[in-house]
Amino acid sequence: MPSEEDMDRCEVCADQLATTIPSGGFDGIHQDCPRCGEFQLTETASSIMRQALGTDRRALLSGWVRSQNRLGSVPMITSENLKTILAAPLPSVVDQSNALLKEAALGLKRGLAIPLTLMSQSF
């Protein structure tokens, strides 16, 4: 039984190295990212994300995973809920500022950095 941790690029933010957790039976990917948190991802969702996700959308998805983790659940990203999550409007600058403040406060506990992608947005 393999016990060593397997590190792969995070499927959500494509920036951090995430721990890949053996999914046992589940036909998909289970990762724990230092930035996004813990999530599961189906193969279909994974292939959509590799083709179609820019930094803005990845930041949105990363924020969604973090909020699910905060609620105590490990979210499963499927091709279906991926559409719903990505259909949400990008947060306004004010909302982003508030979110950053919240993230900063929580980040002190978890050692998370403020997402750099938010700083590079042009609006």
Which residue ranges make up the site for Zn ion (CB under 5 A)?
A: 10, 12-13, 16, 33, 35-36
Please state the closest distance from residue 1 (CB atom) to Zn ion, in A. 27
| 62 versus 96: smaller Cβ distance to Zn ion | 62
| 92 versus 102: smaller Cβ distance to Zn ion | 102
Please state the closest distance from residue 62 (CB atom) to Zn ion, in A. 6
Please state the closest distance from residue 35 (CB atom) to Zn ion, in A. 4
97: its two tokens: 């500022």
Local structure of 106: helix, strand or coil: helix
Alpha-carbon distance 4 to 15, whole Å? 22
| 14 versus 93: smaller Cβ distance to Zn ion | 14
Please state the closest distance from residue 15 (CB atom) to Zn ion, in A. 6
71's enclosing H/E stretch is none
- The DSSP 8-state label assigned to residue 76 in this structure reads E
1's enclosing H/E stretch is none
Going edge to edge, which strands form the sheet with 6-9? 6-9, 17-20, 28-33, 37-42, 76-77
| 30 versus 35: smaller Cβ distance to Zn ion | 35
